[in-house]
């Protein structure tokens, strides 16, 4: 009788041990390819305004904002019309860069010894490129999340599963992106 009761317990313990091993492997994989950071805002609460006149692109930006807010490291908050925003989000038919890029972010920052402090950013999605190359709405949201990552102080990642990988429209904010933004904002309030 006791032997029959212990069998399920042993199976559960083996399953838990397998989960711990799998988790350890994932953490090690994340640490091998960290998402680089180059700066941060003064606070973890960062305001934005979406200037896109298209309801479709406002929705795309909204999906991207949710990806970053889910990390818990930053709080992206919309400002009402007429108020100054830290980050301006928009889209344009063409963003007129020398290379054909799906999105672009400009930022202003103060160079500091303890890390660059971002004071303004503007992220733009190129509707023409996104349409020409057949990006789905979720892929456009990933591009928007990538551009927001730059506005938050993240650089390009070589990791294929990172939203900050410059050539991957399929990746959402990954655990390594979350670790990077948590690190960049660890001492901010």
CA atoms within 13 A on the CB side of 32: 9
Residue 115 lies in a domain: yes
Q: How many domains does the chain have?
A: 1
Residue 5 lies in a domain: no
Residue 29 lies in a domain: no
Residue 13 lies in a domain: no
User: Looking at residue 94, which CATH number applies to its domain?
Assistant: 3.40.390.10
Residue 65 lies in a domain: yes
More confident residue, 153 or 17: 153
Tell whether the model's pLDDT for residue 65 goes beyond 50: yes
Residue 23 lies in a domain: no
Residue 138 lies in a domain: yes
Q: How does residue 98 score in pLDDT terms, banded at 50, 70 and 90?
A: low
Residue 181 lies in a domain: yes
**Cα-only R_g, the chain:** 20
Tell whether the model's pLDDT for residue 180 goes beyond 70: yes
The pTM of the full predicted model, rounded to 2 decimals, is 0.81
**Structural domain boundaries enclosing 84:** 39-186
Q: How does residue 19 score in pLDDT terms, banded at 50, 70 and 90?
A: very low
Helix-strand-coil percent breakdown of the chain, rounded to 5? 40, 20, 40
């Amino acid at each position: 009788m006791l032997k029959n009761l212990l069998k399920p317990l042993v199976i559960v313990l083996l399953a838990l041990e397998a989960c711990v091993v799998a988790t350890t492997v994932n953490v090690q994989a994340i640490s091998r390819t960290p998402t680089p950071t180059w700066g941060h805002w003064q606070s973890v609460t960062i305001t934005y305004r979406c200037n896109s006149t298209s309801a479709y692109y406002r929705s795309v930006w909204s999906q991207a904002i949710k990806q970053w807010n889910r990390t818990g490291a930053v709080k992206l908050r919309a400002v009402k019309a007429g108020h100054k925003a830290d980050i301006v989000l928009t889209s344009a038919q063409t963003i007129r860069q020398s290379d054909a890029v799906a999105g672009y972010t400009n930022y202003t920052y103060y160079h500091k010894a303890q890390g660059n402090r971002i004071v303004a950013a503007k992220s733009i999605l190129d509707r023409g490129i996104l349409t020409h190359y057949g990006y789905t709405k979720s892929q456009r949201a990933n591009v928007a999340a990538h551009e927001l990552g730059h506005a938050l102080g993240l650089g390009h990642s070589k990791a294929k599963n990172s939203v900050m990988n410059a050539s991957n429209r399929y990746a959402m904010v990954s655990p390594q992106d979350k670790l990077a933004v948590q690190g960049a904002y660890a001492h901010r309030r």
